[in-house]
Amino acid sequence: MRCLLNGELTNNRTEDKTFKLFNETLNIKLDRGFPIITSKKIFFDKGYGEFEWIFNGHTDLEFLHARNIKWWDEFAKKGRLGKVYGYQVRNFGGTFDQVKYCINEIKNNSRRAVISLWNPTELKEQALPCCYTSFNFVRINDKLSMTMDFRSSDLFLGLPYDIIVGALVLLNVAEECGLKADTLGLNLKDAHIYESHKEAVLEYYKRPIYALPTLKGRELINYKSGKLIKVKLIK
């Protein structure tokens, strides 16, 4: 809501103006539940599918389509996405696996555990430049936290799914390192809401907020209206 109240209405590369704020920050404690929006419908299986797509180094549409994820289709060029998120995470510069690098750094208590998704030399080979540009891991004793830096963040539509991806990255890396996932920090350089989403955002803020669910393996257990709901994920 602050973005609508305090953000400046600005032009951008699309025809839809945005309400914009600069450098918004948010810290999410993962011990309070899995950070998923509860006041509107979120397709958790699609968020999990995008996480798998990125974390395992995929860049193809076929992997996404098999999980009923279509939002990348509009950016594809002749059916291809190029060197997007998964490529940068697992094959940076064509040779370097940043996940393996960070796991090793974290296990050695290093302060250099950073995954960069912004490679200026390959921007022309990407259907869409990465909206979040880095993961930075910080170990404090037996706890692991991670920040996500965003060059651009669509607060209403995109950010809820980006939070799912970020939380899953942190949980998986922490588990591999034998540590407890602690805090997911978000740094949103260009935080915005599209003018066309204004009415939907106002409606969203009228809705009740429910207790956060718990992630157990690949199953999201959500307490809503006193009922236990289990969401089975695609294997």
Catalytic one among 3, 102, 131, 177? 131
Annotated catalytic residue 3: no
Cβ neighbours of residue 140 closer than 8 Å, sequence gap 6 or more = 182
Residue of 65, 165, 72 lying closest to 126 (CA atoms): 72
Provide CB contacts within 8 A for 133, sequence distance 6+.
Answer: 116, 117, 118, 149, 150, 151
Please classify residue 11 by burial: count the beta carbons closer than 10 Å to its beta carbon, then call 0-12 exposed, 13-18 middle and 19+ buried.
exposed
E strands, the chain, are 8-10, 18-29, 114-116, 132-140, 143-150, 153-154, 180-194, 214-216, 219-224, 227-232
- Helical pair 159-177 and 44-55, crossing angle rounded to 10 deg: 60
What amino acid positions are annotated as catalytic residues? 131
